Amino acid sequence: MSKLPPPALSALHAFLLFTFFLTVSSDFTSDVDLTWGGQRGQISDGGRLLQLSLDKASGAGFQSKHEYLYGKIDMQIKLVPGNSAGTVTAYYLSSQGPTHDEIDFEFLGNETGQPYILHTNVFTQGKGNREQQFYLWFDPRADFHTYSILWNQQQIIFSVDGTPIRVFRNAQGVGIPYPKDQPMRLYSSLWNADDWATRGGLIKTDWTHAPFIASYRGFGADACVWSSGRSLCSATKARWWAQSLDSNGAQKLKWVQKNYMIYNYCRDTKRFPQGPPKECSLSGI
Ligand SMILES: *[C@@H]1O[C@H](CO)[C@@H](O)[C@H](O)[C@H]1NC(C)=O
């Protein structure tokens, strides 16, 4: 009997595979657990929309069902409209335990018409203190925008609508720990932080505007899923596994850092009178 040639991957087959990966990752019912806040976390529209609400009694939060070790995580978020002063919407990856790794986006609310602050941080081996803060070039309350974390062996890239805003490079070579062996879960929460969030705590949450609501759509985890001590990667991994900034990305990063960065720990000489932390001398930080 002659051997049959392997079946060709038809265009239709390829299309189905592709859409499978896209659609499977946008049903909140199967991708996340609402973890606290009771009825303040709601999934609707057939799993496509998730909303967290905050009132005087409590905020709310959710987490991904899976843990990941490397990947590209995307989420569309529409932040609390109107007067969101005092509220914080956090969206981050984190591992467990005292020497945990963490990659943070935190959105600090503001009074109507005043800008949100996008606060970022990176923890490695339980140590953070690597804050960078930005204004955005749009009003994040008006619409959904995509906030992404690309995490591979070379670097972590934070981006907003595909525009890189921050890069944390793997600098193990100069003794900076890099998140590389602890799987991380995605977490998000909406809570009251009016003791520090808005103008350093000056502006308090105005509870007459409660409930405050943050909305989520389009969660995508093109990532290596941690399962019984192993990292299983999706078939589309190639798209992000070796990705670093190209010259266009580097240019956009520069544009954001020049025009929208409002705080950079690397330039905080009051905080680091001995000179900035070691990783700051690497380009792009
Ligand atoms: C809120 O608005 C004030 C005034 O424009 C600004 O200084 C501050 O950075 C804004 N954001 C936060 C989160 O405080």
Q: Return the CATH number at 275.
A: 2.60.120.200
Residues 249-260 have a mean pLDDT of: 97
Ligand 1 center–CA 268 separation, angstroms: 19
Ligand 1 center–CA 109 separation, angstroms: 8
How many domains would you assign to the chain? 1
Q: Is the pLDDT of residue 18 over 90?
A: no
For 161-187, what is each residue's pLDDT tens digit?
999 999 999 999 889 999 999 999 999
Ligand 1 center–CA 130 separation, angstroms: 20
For 181-239, what is each residue's pLDDT tens digit?
999 999 999 999 999 999 999 999 999 999 999 999 999 999 999 999 998 987 778 78
Whether residue 265 lies inside any domain: the answer is yes
Q: Is the pLDDT of residue 6 over 70?
A: no
The verdict on the CB of residue 115 being under 6 Å from ligand 1 is: yes
Whether residue 112 lies inside any domain: the answer is yes
Whether residue 199 lies inside any domain: the answer is yes
What is residue 171's three-state secondary structure?
coil
The CA distance from 125 to 110, in Å, is 32
Whether residue 195 lies inside any domain: the answer is yes
- Dihedrals phi, psi of 100, to nearest 5 degrees: -75, 160
Among protein residues, the one with the nearest Cα to ligand 1's atom 4 is 114
Q: Is the pLDDT of residue 20 over 90?
A: no
pLDDT of the residue at 283: 58
Domain residues for 222? 11-281
Query: Taking a C-beta distance cutoff of 8 angstroms, is the pair 113, 201 a contact?
Result: no
Query: Could you tell me the two tokens for 226?
Result: 């941690």
Query: Taking a C-beta distance cutoff of 8 angstroms, is the pair 233, 151 a contact?
Result: no
Question: 3-state SS of the chain: helix, strand, coil percent to 5?
Answer: 20, 40, 40
Among protein residues, the one with the nearest Cα to ligand 1's atom 5 is 114
pLDDT > 90 in the chain, percent: 81
Whether residue 16 lies inside any domain: the answer is yes
Ligand 1 center–CA 135 separation, angstroms: 9
The verdict on the CB of residue 198 being under 6 Å from ligand 1 is: yes
pTM above threshold 0.95: no
Whether residue 267 lies inside any domain: the answer is yes
Q: Is the pLDDT of residue 5 over 60?
A: no
Whether residue 141 lies inside any domain: the answer is yes
Residue 67: active-site member:
no
Residue 102: active-site member:
yes
Whether residue 87 lies inside any domain: the answer is yes
Amino acid at 34: L
The verdict on the CB of residue 176 being under 6 Å from ligand 1 is: no
The CA distance from 82 to 80, in Å, is 7
